[in-house]
Each structure stands twice: as structure tokens, then as C-alpha cells.
Amino acid sequence: MTEFIRLAFCEIKTQIKRYIILVFEMMAAFLVIGFLCSMLSGINMTNQTVNGAGIPADYYRAKSTAVYTDGGRAINGDERQALLIEFIADNFHTEGVTGYTTPLDHPILMATDGYFDIYGLRLEKGRAFNKDEYDSDNADMPIIMGYGFINDYDIGDTYMDKFTIVGFLSDEQYIPELSGRISKGFSVNYNIYTPIKSREWLKENGVSYPTDLIYSENKSELDAINQKAEELGLYAYNFLSADEAEQILINTTSTLNIPLVLITLLITAMSLLCLVQSMLEFVRKNIVELLIHMICGAKLSNIILRVGAGTVLTAFISAAAASLAFRSASTAAVLFITAAAVTVIAVLPIAISLKLKPPIVAVKEEK
């Protein structure tokens, strides 16, 4: 180790001007890398605060593309909208809820078969809907209430003389809004659910089929919906799955500056280029001296150590100086790892060139 440091200092002393420039240049690159690290630590924090909605990745939500300041007039529900919903229901598997129009403070929502599973809604007590209760037109309608009603009603009670309570949802459950900006979603504490009726019943009673989530193995298949919308003179939609919504949320809340990442990479590459070039020139210039070392018994590894000593010290001094500016253990660790990587990459061409062309051959060629 002492020998190594002595070598490094000896090397630096002989080419002090070159190494001062190298230290400054490496420091500049490390400062940019350190700055990047600070930003990346912010991204990790953001990642931890985002919870997955748990909705399968192949379910998509249609999102309006109307200009917000226009109030979305162009896609407000009309007959054409109903025709589009019919088209979606006929051609795609959908999940969701649709409003069952009753003059109540808490309207009853008709839920599709897979709704509770997809949104991961758990029951506090009671039972889930049976398979045969979906798509049936029975007059007796079971309901599951949100946790907000748990103190007012009980299992088996009748609600509005028409609905039988069969279960209650657990507290603090949300239906996530699949949007880039809204992550928390809507509470289901005051929702009341009943199984969806048959398509015919919905048509007769003017209730639209739920198309909250549209299933598609391939997102591009959903373009058929947009084509139909255009045909009907409606605005086309963008479609977003839960994973994509979460990705947008992560992306938009992160402070990652991509151009700075690129600039850092390019500057590091340039530093590396200068370092490698400078070392190759050094070997060429001092090839006779290196040969004498070898004649006197030095191994190739010793020669590489001799050539790389200055570089190692330069890289580590620069990394240490840049680390002081950030005062962060993780940033310092990244900088030192980068310094080590830079040294290895810089020494590699030297090792290869010495291996391919030993100093004795190089000197002979020179002569």
C-alpha cells in the first residue's frame, strides 16, 4: 500500500500540471453525478408513497379527451353516448358499477361480477353476492353496504322495503381513480352495492351498462372503441390501466431531470476519454522506462499499477472532494463506486495494449 501511494505521488509529481487539470475535471463530473444522486433519492421517496391499486394490468379506464375549460360538453351523455356504451358492452368484457336510480341520499350501485375482486374490497361481516344473484331480474335484491352504515343497520335488515342487507364492507377502503394526478381515490364507506341486473333489464329501465374498466389483452384493440366514437361523432378516448396510472403518478411526482442524467453520462464519458487518452500517451512516452522496469523483474501487473497509480489517486481525490459538497453517505458511496469504475475502465485499455504489445516489442518498433 505504501509502495502504491509512493508510486502514485511520484507519478503525480512528474506530471503535476496534467493531474491538476484531471482532478478538476473529474471533480466537475463527480459534482454533476452527486447532484443527480440527490435527485434520485427524491424519486425513491416518491416510490414509497405510491400504493398499487391492485387492479389487473389488462383492465383499462376510458378517459375523456375533451378540453377541460370547455367543460367537456362534446362528450356529455346523449343517445350517441348510449350507443357507444352498447358497442363496448357487446364487444368487450367490462367491470364496474352503474347507478340504480332511486331517490336516495346514497344511490345504490349495481356492481358487476368481478367488481369486488378487482378493486380488492373486503367484507367486515356478512357474505359476498352469489354467482346466481348477478344478471338476474329477481325482485328481491341483496345489498352490501359501506362501513359507514354498520351502526345503523344489521345483516338481514331490509333497506327501503326492497333490498336485503347481506354484508358490510370494511372501513378505509377506496376505489382508486385511474388518473395521473389523483392517487387516493374515493371512499366506499357510504356506498351501497347490489348485483347487476341483466342487459335487458338495464335497457328497459334506461340504466347504462357499466364500462368503468374495459378488459383487453392488447391495448391497441381498444382503438375499435375510438373508431366507433368517431363514427358516432363523439370524442375519442385515451385508455389507462392501473399500472399505467401509477407509472404516470410516479413519473410526474419525480424530480428526475433526464437531460441532466444525459449530460452527466456524456461528461463522464468525456472525462473517461481524456483519462484513457492521457494514460495511453503516458505509456507510449515512457515505454523505455517501463521496459527497464520489466527487465529488472517487474511483472505486467506492476507496470499496470505504476501506470494506473496516478489515475486511482486522481479519481479518489476528486470523489472525496465532490463528496464533501453533498454531505451524504449514499452520494459519497455512489461517487466512490463511480471513481472505482472509472479507474477500472481507464486502466483496461492500458492493460489490453500492454498485453497485446509487450514493452519490448513496442520499443523495438519504436527503434
Does residue number 262 form part of the binding site for other proteins (CB under 8 A)?
yes
Does residue number 247 form part of the binding site for other proteins (CB under 8 A)?
yes
Q: How far is 59 from 352, CA to CA, in rounded Å? A: 54
Q: How far is 25 from 266, CA to CA, in rounded Å? A: 13
Q: Report the residue from 207, 232, 274, 294 that binds other proteins according to the rule CB under 8 A.
A: 274
Compute the chain's Rg from CA coordinates: 34
Site residues for other proteins, 222-241, by CB under 8 A, read 222-223, 226, 234-241
**Burial level of 12, CB count in 10 A (0-12/13-18/19+)?**
buried
Does residue number 211 form part of the binding site for other proteins (CB under 8 A)?
no
Does residue number 280 form part of the binding site for other proteins (CB under 8 A)?
yes
Number of Cβ within a 10 Å radius of residue 61? 22
**Burial level of 94, CB count in 10 A (0-12/13-18/19+)?**
buried
Question: Is the Cβ–Cβ distance between 203 and 137 less than 8 Å?
Answer: no
Q: Which helix (H) or strand (E) holds 276?
A: helix 258-285
Q: How far is the CB of 117 from other proteins (least distance, A)?
A: 24
Q: How far is the CB of 352 from other proteins (least distance, A)?
A: 13
Q: Of the two residues 32 and 110, which places its CB atom closer to other proteins in the complex?
A: 32
Does residue number 31 form part of the binding site for other proteins (CB under 8 A)?
yes
Q: How far is the CB of 71 from other proteins (least distance, A)?
A: 6
Q: How far is 281 from 259, CA to CA, in rounded Å? A: 32
Q: How far is 140 from 162, CA to CA, in rounded Å? A: 7
Does residue number 81 form part of the binding site for other proteins (CB under 8 A)?
no
Q: Tell me the three cell numbers of residue 359.
A: 514493452
Q: Residues 131, 159, 204, 93: is their CA dihedral positive or negative?
A: negative
The stretch near other proteins (CB under 8 A) out of 6-14, 47-55, 253-261, 291-299 is 253-261
Does residue number 123 form part of the binding site for other proteins (CB under 8 A)?
no
Q: Report the residue from 12, 32, 97, 169 that binds other proteins according to the rule CB under 8 A.
A: 32
Number of Cβ within a 10 Å radius of residue 96? 22
Q: Tell me the three cell numbers of residue 223.
A: 382503438
Number of Cβ within a 10 Å radius of residue 352? 10
Does residue number 258 form part of the binding site for other proteins (CB under 8 A)?
yes
Q: Report the residue from 98, 194, 211, 271 that binds other proteins according to the rule CB under 8 A.
A: 271
Q: How far is the CB of 179 from other proteins (least distance, A)?
A: 5
Does residue number 179 form part of the binding site for other proteins (CB under 8 A)?
yes
Q: Tell me the three cell numbers of residue 365.
A: 518498433
Does residue number 366 form part of the binding site for other proteins (CB under 8 A)?
yes
Q: Of the two residues 103 and 367, which places its CB atom closer to other proteins in the complex?
A: 367
The stretch near other proteins (CB under 8 A) out of 70-78, 116-124, 161-169, 340-348 is 70-78
**Burial level of 133, CB count in 10 A (0-12/13-18/19+)?**
middle
> What is the total residue count of the chain?
367
Q: How far is the CB of 187 from other proteins (least distance, A)?
A: 20
List contacts with other proteins (CB under 8 A). 18, 21-22, 24-25, 27-29, 31-32, 35, 63-74, 179-182, 219-220, 222-223, 226, 234-241, 243-245, 247-248, 251-252, 254, 257-260, 262-263, 266-267, 269-271, 273-274, 277-278, 280-281, 284-285, 366-367
